[in-house]
Amino acid sequence: MAVTRTEGARTGLMAGGIAAIVFAVLFVVGFLLTSDTPDGDESDLKWVRYFADSGHRRMIVTGAILLTLAAVAFLIFLGVLRERLRGAAPGSEWVSTIAFASGIAFVAMIGVFTVGKGAVAAGITFGDNPVPRDATIMRSFESLGFGGLLLFGAGFAGLLIFTTSIVSGRGALLPGWLVVAGYVVGVIVFLGGLLFFPIILIVLWMLAVGIVMLSRSGTTA
């Protein structure tokens, strides 16, 4: 039984580590592919011409698919993280629950971002919808996507990182430097949702945690 539990823990850490790294890569590529649209203050004509280009639409749709896969990878990571946090430190169960709930909410905001960024392009490509002649439609979907991710999503991600760091520090689940970094990153991401740099910090934190999980998958019971 002890051997089975040990193998299960190692397998979980490996899966969580791989999922975290896969998320980081897919999320960055998907984000870049879906965000290469005209600036909000560009002319209506430029917006219409952008979405009339089938190459641009394919790029956005591809990015949306990658973001969807990134969300799946994040859920796998989150499931492993939840099991690691549960019972890691007595009295921290409620903090672990907040971390898990925050992760679920963050995934939902990735979904909002993906739909907002990809709805128009996907509707034209797969639904035979005409290219909108009113650029306000495209701008509105863009604003919806970015608002969901950079405001609400960053807040949920910051809470996830901060609460994970609390439990990890009490239960020695992560190296001390990563726990301290998690406190700082969590606060910055939580408060900095109106800026772009929190997205970079989320990705870097995921990469760091994923690498730690993988490194410990061969030794952790």
The domain ranges of the chain are 2-216
Tell me what pLDDT residue 221 has.
45
Kindly report the pTM of this predicted structure: 0.89
Tell me what pLDDT residue 3 has.
43
38-42, 119-123, 148-152, 164-168: least confidently modelled range: 38-42
CA distance 114 to 142: 10
CA distance 46 to 155: 33
- Between 135 and 58, the more confident residue is 58
Q: Across the chain, what does the average pLDDT equal?
A: 88
Tell me what pLDDT residue 147 has.
87
Note whether 199 and 31 are within 8 A (CB): yes
Lookup: tokens for 5:
């539990």
Q: Does residue 183 have a pLDDT over 90?
A: yes
